[in-house]
Amino acid sequence: MSEFLPLDMLAFAPHPDDAELYCGGTLLLLKRAGRRTGIIDLTRGELSTRGNPDTRARETAEATRILQLDYRGNLSLPDGDIANTWENRITVAREIRRLRPRAVFLPYFRDRHPDHEHTSVLVREALFAAGLRKIETTDEDGLPQEAYRPPRAYYYMLTYEFEPGFTVDISAVQEEKLAAIRAYASQFNVRTSDAEPETYISRPEFLESLNGRSRRLGFYVGGEYGEGFIPLQMMRMEPEDMLGNGKMAK
């Protein structure tokens, strides 16, 4: 018997901090609703211009505490070289079969950072492989794992934007989400007076831009802040669900 209970939602992130930035609000809302949440980072972010793996690990632990995650893992794949190989697909599929999440977040497949794109394809293919019975894997005790494919998966939006299939109103947890992002103190909101060089994400304008997008998406759905997603699978809609909650649109 695995020491982990099945998760409700599991987010895959190329680097520690990506899940906090791009789906952290929704993870916080699920936690508030009593759901079991987790994040698996594929790398330790060792190629980051600022900080080092030790500072990143401490910052990740603090962000994990703020998000109240039930599980946080790291696959230790090489940063800058996340390859969609058979071996890596099996590694990801083993985690999916072990944690048996009801739903998964994965990065969108078109982005500024190649690692983000590669993670998208790798996780998407691993989700499929995890459901194939003839792909055999074993758990940490060497026992065979059951095939399992999460019924739901959703792409989250990174640097490049897409037209979301739906938006989650995260206004209620916006401050906590920002606290989880600020836990990565070596990465964000640092001015150049610092000893390390400025990066694309270290300037305050990066977080301002992210908040601007979140503000806009939230506004569209009648809230203050939002996170947008695209479902990986065709979403079945019951005719009754099409009627909504009867509240007038803002």
* Binding interface with Zn ion (CB under 5 A): 14-15, 18
Rounded to a whole number of angstroms, the minimum distance from the CB of residue 164 to Zn ion is 20
Nearer to Zn ion, 20 or 70 (CB): 20
DSSP 160: S
- Number of neighbours of residue 147 by Cβ within 10 angstroms: 17
Nearer to Zn ion, 12 or 169 (CB): 12
Sequence-distant (6+) residues with CB within 8 A of 175 are none
Rounded to a whole number of angstroms, the minimum distance from the CB of residue 137 to Zn ion is 27
Give the E-state strand segments of the chain in sequence order.
9-13, 37-41, 71-74, 103-107, 152-156, 166-169, 226-231
Rounded to a whole number of angstroms, the minimum distance from the CB of residue 52 to Zn ion is 16
- Could you identify the residue written with the tokens 């497949």? 109
- Could you identify the residue written with the tokens 């590669």? 118
Nearer to Zn ion, 14 or 24 (CB): 14
- Could you identify the residue written with the tokens 């987010």? 11
Nearer to Zn ion, 201 or 217 (CB): 201
CA 51 to mean position of chain CA atoms: 21
CA distance 165 to 230: 5
Task: Name the closest residue to Zn ion (Cβ).
Answer: 15
Rounded to a whole number of angstroms, the minimum distance from the CB of residue 241 to Zn ion is 34
Nearer to Zn ion, 18 or 95 (CB): 18
DSSP track, 25-83: HHHHHHHHTT--EEEEESS--TT-SSS-HHHHHHHHHHHHHHHT-SEEEE--PPTT---
Torsions phi, psi of 40, nearest 5?
Answer: -115, 120
Rounded to a whole number of angstroms, the minimum distance from the CB of residue 108 to Zn ion is 12
Nearer to Zn ion, 15 or 124 (CB): 15
Rounded to a whole number of angstroms, the minimum distance from the CB of residue 69 to Zn ion is 18
